[in-house]
Structure 1
Amino acid sequence: MSAAPAHAQIEQVVVQARGEQQEVRDIPVAITAIGEEKIERFALKSLEDVAAVAPQLTIVRGGSGSGASISIRGIQSNSTSIGIEQSVAVILDGVYYPQGRVIDEGLFDVSQVAVLKGPQALYFGKNATAGVLAITTNDPGNEFEAMARVGYEIEQQRLVAESTISVPLTDKFGIRLALRGTKMWGGYIENNAGPTNYVTTDAATFQQTVHPNGAPTENKFPAEESFYARLTMKGTPSDRFTYTIKGSFADYRISTTQGTELFACPTLNGQPHASVADPDNPGFNKPIPNTEAECVPDWRGAQNPIPPDIAATDPLLNWFGSQLGEEYRSYGVTGKFDMDFDPIDLSAILNFHRQRTNWVGDFDGGGATSTFAGEHNTFKNFSTEVRAVTKFDFPLNAVLGVYYQDTQRYFTQDVIFAGADNSAVTDPTRQYVAYDKISETAGETISVYGELIWDITDQLQLTGGVRYLHETKDSYFIQPYVNPFFTGIFYQGYTLEADQSFNDASPEATLRWEPTDDLTLYAAYKEGFKSGGFSNSAIHSTITIVNNDPSTSLPDFVFAPEHVKGFEGGIKASLFDRTLSVELEAYHYKFKDLQIDFFNSPTFAFITENAGGAKTDGAELQFTWVPEQVTGLTLTGSLAYNIAKYTDFVAPCYAGQKPSQGCNLPISAGEVPKQQLAGQTRALAPRWAGSFGIDYEAPIGNGLLIGLSSNVKWKSKHRLGGFNNPYDEQKGYATFDAAIRFGNENRNWEFAVIGKNLTNKYALLSAGDTPGTGGNTGTERGFVADRYGTPIVRRTVELQFTWRY
């Protein structure tokens, strides 16, 4: 038996990344694992909080569409389309969650969040072309546990309470209940919209009506209210059989759909504008000042409620009593079953998840009452996966799995803008609606995968596998009603339909060499696939119709699959008697047909595109060091170099782009003006990104313990949007987080002060064109749209008390 070390060693992190639990050091994948201690020490309560401390991960909340954009290494899917699934797959307790609004599920009683970078097609279901966020929640243990925590964040006036109780009812069965609730009286973005009037014009009588509209009752974003619950039951009836059942519920509400503000208004030299017809130049538009908005990056925006008399006519727009808001509610059940049949391990996961989202949003970008939408959507997901892993004594073993998923998406949306009114409607709920939309998609996926594992020697292993996937999506879209004033812009009554089928085989191979227990070297070839689909939240615009045939708009709704292939390699080492852990990875990947959603702001049209080609090249270094000289001190850091560029993308021009600015490609009838983006850097892809963290803990006498933690994250300058707009560059920036905690050595109680973005740095996570701004795209009369963006959260300071039994 070896002697115990005379000093602290780095605790090895265990992650399930290749079908079984393994130490990160042994896994031939680029991984950043965030454990329960760091989650608690920095009060990470959401995936957005996780992204705030992980340099190559960016999560941007979206107001419409899928509700979020998740990016790794500059590869992501837009949030504006509800039909485009994320290129970064989110796996919660082994289950794939397709929708971006999974970020509303909360992060509580979690043992680990693992960020797996690069395509992960073989072991993670589907659609993991850019990477995986794998979340693991806690199970019941063999001992009684109880925890209660209360926290109050001073700046946003947020109260958080959570509790956990875990009870081993017998030596073979236990239950665990985790609860968390949040009430926020403030937020980090101020809504400074004041009272306004909304003037409508009746399409039947041409009579104008003034509708008074008061200031919003909630003037802070996000003003979050949430409640989460998870019940876990785990049993081990025998040494060969374990089952785990998890039931979850989420109720999440915020004061508006998005935390955005205007930050660049170049057309009128900093003054917001609106685009209107130019009477002196027929066929062209001109900008006029929007005096009811500001365009200053200062965590302040203007989002109006809906005039109460108008909201009262439409249940969808009146969901929050004429106010803005978003409500996400979901429930799910997951069953995991593990069986040991020598020499084969068999596991199965079954999941049912249902989510419902209602939101009402203001989308004009300024303080005027102008453009609103209300939406109701539901998503149901049933999936099951069965996996067998052999454990033969001889060198060759195998993994074989089968995956099935059935999904149902329903979407309906009402839009009001530009003073639409029609007293002649037969349905009074549509009197003030400019147009409405209804869409559905039924999807089914069947997938099989397998991998051969060849232990060439005790130190050298070669693995090779492939996943085959067959997926179908049957969809339709219709705009049942369009106000007569807008029949020349939006098409009414035609049902666009698409029955799509996709097939793919994604192989990968990995060579891993472990010359010692403390050193792993690997090289891998990987491919990935994300199926095509149907953009349920698009707009059927007459502008893209050819020869008066409404079916010619279908290409604006359907999109092709996304593919990736490439290489990566790395070294993972534990050095100096395991006091220093180092990981170095390098990668090269080529993407084909990246799925992109484009909003044409002057014409209110969404267009779904496939980028012809893109690539990512880079390297990342991560380390953890526990110096022998200082007991209780841990240093962590990372440095990433990444180049993510388009190699071929005939893309829509940004609003107002002129031919002299590159908007000069020949187009066919019904197409929007186009540009070539080959060689341009992708959005959210800083050349350099990194972090450095310090954690120190020491006894101070009388059975007490003090701890200090800090983390700096930085990114170099990068683009916020993907269409070469010159006004969407974010300068390089750094954020600083720190925490101090005080408690007893048995960790029965702890008081902590946790600060995030303590320097109050302002930076943007995303950018987009403001609806109704910009114009004359593709001509030398073009003028640029006002730009809105999502800022990072400003400084927060939280007081937190934790009690444990």
Structure 2
Amino acid sequence: MTRLINRTVARRIARRALQGVAALAIAGTPFAAQAAIEEVRVEARGQEESIRDIPVAITAVDAKTLQQYSMQSLSDVAAHTPSLEILRILSGTGTSISIRGVSSSAGSLGIEQSVSVIIDGVYFPQGRVINEGLFDSSQVAILKGPQALYFGKNATAGVVAITTNDPGNEFEAMARAGYEVRADQMDGEAMISVPVNDKWGFRIAAAGTKMWGGYFENTAGDTNYTTLDAANGFAATPHFNPAPADKKLPGEESWKTRLTLKATPTDNLTLRLKTSYADVLTNAPGLFELVSCPTLNGQPHRVSGAAPNQVPVPAGTGECNKDWKTGFNNEPPDIAATGGGPNPDSPGLDRFGNGQLGEMYKSFIISGDVDWDMDWADLKLVLNYHRQKNAWVGDNDGGADTSVFAQEFNTFSNYSAEARMATKFDGPVNAVFGFYYQKTHRYFEQSVHFAGAENSAAPAYERYTAYDKYSETDGETVSPYAEVKWSITDQWTLTGGARYIWETKDSYFIQPYVNPAFAGLFVEDRTLAVKQKFDDIIPEATVTWQPSPDLTIFAAYKQGYKSGGFDNGTIDSTLNTSPLDDITFDPESVEGFEAGIKTLLADGTVSIELDAFMYKYNDLQLNFFNAPIFAYQTLNGDMRTTGGELQVTWAPENVDGLTLNAALAYNDSHYTRFLAPCSGGQSIAEGCNVDLNLPLKKQDLAGAPRNLAPKWAGNMGFNYEMPFGNGFVWGLSGNMKFKSKYSLSEFIPDATQKGYVQFDAAIRFGTDDGRWTFAVIGKNLTNEYVLVGVRDAASTGGNTGTANAFRSDLTGYSLPPRTVKFELTYRY
């Protein structure tokens, strides 16, 4: 901490705080003085409770805060939550969600997240579900640590629970329009809620975005891509690739809508039905740029020759700086026009027309729940169906020349049902019984084009393909669970429970076509198939002491479990030592302890939450792409995370309308056992010194820090509201987030992000009844460049595991630069 907050940095923080105040900005709802801290209620144990009574470390973001800072995604929420980080990439599951430094790799489509995303009580396995957004939401709750008992499966690191709004007892309507300057982006949101009668009502909400520009600049120009025809003596044919017309990325367009029906036919019966649709389109999948090119002193490079005598050669045009500039080439139009193969739903490289890049996400969700409140028990039934499609066409090499490009199409469908009964006996002992069932299907296809691959003897749609691949997985989960709650005295409570998980996954993978020039590297038409079965019992126990309504002290023993699986997006390489073992992975488990204190002081004006934890993870599920030899490997490693977090909220009695908040988190998260593949071009002296006789050489990362796991992180914020003239109010808010240095990749030893400070702030003005509000919202006001992940650039780095190795170039994924948004909200 002292290395981060020294005198120089302290002066920097103070200076930037003043700069932030000058640009402050926030969006809002009705303003009112706050005499005490409002109670926040969260559903963390099967029923809605005050956050002060729940023996779980929780950070909750309410609807007002979501609107004030125009939080439209979980990435926005992470900017205000020290223990939460979001990494978004091009391939695989597309997202890695990290809590307390624990996360699963984003690069594998088959690895489900260690942090579960729950929307309205329903578990969504795929990381790209964060595309659903946070429009018309009432709350986002981050539950830290294993949450296996009440949140289905896979919540080994925690839960992000999103709650959307229901229709109320009164008519409501809202319209909001915003304009963000840097990205040249318009967005809007509208809602209408109608109580048809005293028994039922409906609510319709919609949100849309149109981005004419973006916060990334595309510097790619005209290029040529030369192919070598394997069926014609490797005759060379140049393909002209004109400079992309889109110079600003990501050019997002989106449309999202939700319909909610709610009925209360009797006083103790509630029925709810929600349907939602999301359609998101961008002109650049997975925004990344070259951020480090050490081999040629800042010049991007490619590899020439065969190991151990490879040499780096300059990669033509392109730059390697941390400046939100990248070189994304479209695909050569004549190559893209060859089509997408036998699947009519996947037009391949020409999905977006004339070789243009892009990503498409479409999703349909329908869920229903029944809540029956009887005298002796609460019964709840939740049913859900979810289907999503995702497709992209991408420039995958990271440089400004046309070198490596690919297209992908995948679908995922999920059926789930959960039934739960919680008893309400007058005696000291009560119990919860539940049953969860899920059935899933995943389809995946991808084709990769690089190194001048051409084969005129192949089908037209494969002519320029280096290799393609197809995969599917059918999954089924059966999981009963139970918990017993014993009120030993009025102050002491002991709870204990367990969940049983039984799961099967039936998968296959095949590369039906490989260009003959790459027959020595990729395996053609070999089916890798496996039917996996997993089961486990996950117990937990918690003791809670509540000597008064304003003080809760708890200690808990917890376990968590995530079943193994199959990497659908792998590569069947001749260099893989054990093909099936390299694309399957073992279950992930965790056990440990947590303790905390939650208290309300000073007549309800000060809230303090303090927690400490220690967890040991066995077989954390990870995925590695070996860029120099084009091989994927799924693997498992052991890790330990130890730390604590302090959260304080203060509403001063002598300053009406002011609320102050702060959080500080310490986390020591490192591997205890992990033999990992070496990064591209890593030398023996840099730690690549295990299994040097194998194609995939290894390094021992025991003791190395986890990625996205800073030792110190925190935030400080305020919200101030006061009357302004006759019937008007104004508000001012700000938030400072800081993190100490952290690792950007578990596989690249020296890839780190230095400690940083970011400011979000805002100002708003409107009527005191909340009828209308005008706001200006600023994020990352000091324009800090922050990376949240890096990976080896394809076809770079050579002679790995030797004394004359040369390092890969690195592509990085960054947080957005400074943005300033103007927003107008009208409510009726």
The residue type paired with residue 310 of structure 1 is I
- Structure-2 separation of matches of 1:399 and 1:7: 37
Report whether the alignment pairs 1:374 with 2:420.
Answer: no
The answer to whether the Cα contact below 8 Å between 1:66 and 1:83 also exists between their aligned partners in 2 is yes
Choose the corresponding residue for 1:680, options 682, 704, 707: 704
Partner of 1:143: 170
The residue type paired with residue 313 of structure 2 is I
- Structure-1 separation of matches of 2:250 and 2:152: 33
Partner of 1:3: none
**SS in structure 1 opposite 2:581?**
helix
Choose the corresponding residue for 2:333, options 300, 308, 326: 308
The residue type paired with residue 355 of structure 1 is Q
Partner of 2:22: none
Partner of 2:342: none
Higher mean displacement: 286-295 or 232-241: 286-295
- State the shift of 1:341 in Å: 2.5
Report whether the alignment pairs 1:337 with 2:361.
Answer: no
Report whether the alignment pairs 1:605 with 2:628.
Answer: no
Partner of 2:788: 765
Partner of 2:144: 117
Choose the corresponding residue for 1:699, options 723, 726, 743: 723
The residue type paired with residue 357 of structure 2 is L
The answer to whether the Cα contact below 8 Å between 2:692 and 2:801 also exists between their aligned partners in 1 is no
Choose the corresponding residue for 1:614, options 628, 639, 664: 639
Partner of 2:96: 69
Report whether the alignment pairs 1:794 with 2:817.
Answer: yes
The residue type paired with residue 261 of structure 1 is E
- State the shift of 1:285 in Å: 1.4
- State the shift of 1:219 in Å: 1.7
Choose the corresponding residue for 2:108, options 71, 81, 99: 81
- Structure-1 separation of matches of 2:183 and 2:82: 24
- Structure-2 separation of matches of 1:528 and 1:748: 46
- State the shift of 1:291 in Å: 2.5
**SS in structure 2 opposite 1:659?**
coil
Partner of 1:784: 807
- Structure-2 separation of matches of 1:77 and 1:268: 32
- Structure-2 separation of matches of 1:447 and 1:730: 40
Partner of 1:664: 689
Choose the corresponding residue for 1:580, options 603, 606, 611: 606
- Structure-2 separation of matches of 1:512 and 1:586: 15
- Structure-2 separation of matches of 1:569 and 1:626: 26
TM-score, normalised to structure 2, is 0.94
Classify 1:523/1:299 alpha carbon distance in 2 versus 1 (closer, same or farther; 3 Å).
Answer: same
Partner of 1:385: 418
Summarize deviations over 1:20-79 as a string: whole Å, max 9, x none: 101111110010000000000000011111112212111111101101111111111111
- State the shift of 1:724 in Å: 4.2
Partner of 2:518: 486
Summarize deviations over 1:737-774 as a string: whole Å, max 9, x none: 11100000000000000000011111111111001000
Choose the corresponding residue for 1:710, options 731, 734, 753: 734
The answer to whether the Cα contact below 8 Å between 1:388 and 1:401 also exists between their aligned partners in 2 is yes
Choose the corresponding residue for 1:188, options 215, 218, 222: 215
- State the shift of 1:284 in Å: 2.8
- Structure-2 separation of matches of 1:217 and 1:396: 68
- Structure-1 separation of matches of 2:213 and 2:113: 30
1:333-482 counterparts in 2 under 5 A? 333-425=366-458, 427-482=459-514
- Structure-1 separation of matches of 2:196 and 2:576: 64
The residue type paired with residue 701 of structure 1 is G
The residue type paired with residue 88 of structure 1 is V
Summarize deviations over 1:152-185 as a string: whole Å, max 9, x none: 0011111011100000001010000000010001
Partner of 2:181: 154
- Structure-1 separation of matches of 2:581 and 2:802: 24
Classify 1:803/1:475 alpha carbon distance in 2 versus 1 (closer, same or farther; 3 Å).
Answer: same
**SS in structure 1 opposite 2:679?**
coil
Choose the corresponding residue for 2:204, options 177, 190, 200: 177
Report whether the alignment pairs 1:34 with 2:61.
Answer: yes
**SS in structure 1 opposite 2:690?**
coil
- Structure-1 separation of matches of 2:713 and 2:685: 34
- Structure-2 separation of matches of 1:7 and 1:151: 27
- State the shift of 1:629 in Å: 1.2
- Structure-1 separation of matches of 2:140 and 2:248: 30
Report whether the alignment pairs 1:542 with 2:542.
Answer: no
Summarize deviations over 1:215-254 as a string: whole Å, max 9, x none: 1121222211000000000000001210110000000011
Structure 2's unaligned 5+ residue stretches are 1-32, 340-346
Partner of 2:21: none
- Structure-2 separation of matches of 1:276 and 1:506: 51
**SS in structure 1 opposite 2:724?**
strand
Count residues in correspondence.
787
Summarize deviations over 1:577-621 as a string: whole Å, max 9, x none: 00000000000000000011001010111110111x100000100
Choose the corresponding residue for 1:745, options 762, 768, 773: 768
- Structure-1 separation of matches of 2:56 and 2:182: 39
- State the shift of 1:666 in Å: 3.4
The residue type paired with residue 718 of structure 1 is Y
- State the shift of 1:189 in Å: 1.1
- State the shift of 1:668 in Å: 7.2
- Structure-2 separation of matches of 1:355 and 1:104: 11
Runs ≥4 residues deviating over 6 A: none
- Structure-2 separation of matches of 1:54 and 1:289: 42
Higher mean displacement: 53-62 or 87-96: 53-62
- State the shift of 1:256 in Å: 1.2
Partner of 1:549: none
1:495-534 counterparts in 2 under 5 A? 495-534=527-566
The answer to whether the Cα contact below 8 Å between 2:540 and 2:559 also exists between their aligned partners in 1 is yes
Choose the corresponding residue for 2:262, options 228, 234, 240: 234
For CA contacts below 8 A with separation 6 or more, give which structure has more relative contact order: 2
- State the shift of 1:667 in Å: 6.2
- Structure-1 separation of matches of 2:82 and 2:316: 38
**SS in structure 2 opposite 1:25?**
coil
The residue type paired with residue 579 of structure 1 is T
- Structure-2 separation of matches of 1:503 and 1:221: 45
- State the shift of 1:7 in Å: 7.5
- Structure-1 separation of matches of 2:309 and 2:525: 29
- State the shift of 1:283 in Å: 4.7
- Structure-2 separation of matches of 1:515 and 1:221: 56
The answer to whether the Cα contact below 8 Å between 1:467 and 1:506 also exists between their aligned partners in 2 is yes
The residue type paired with residue 604 of structure 1 is F
- Structure-2 separation of matches of 1:335 and 1:7: 36
Classify 1:668/1:776 alpha carbon distance in 2 versus 1 (closer, same or farther; 3 Å).
Answer: closer
The answer to whether the Cα contact below 8 Å between 1:217 and 1:323 also exists between their aligned partners in 2 is no
Report whether the alignment pairs 1:733 with 2:756.
Answer: yes
TM-score, normalised to structure 1, is 0.97
- Structure-1 separation of matches of 2:647 and 2:141: 14
Choose the corresponding residue for 2:583, options 557, 561, 582: 557
The residue type paired with residue 608 of structure 1 is T
- State the shift of 1:286 in Å: 1.2
**SS in structure 2 opposite 1:450?**
strand
- State the shift of 1:257 in Å: 1.1
- Structure-1 separation of matches of 2:678 and 2:551: 49
Choose the corresponding residue for 2:281, options 233, 242, 253: 253
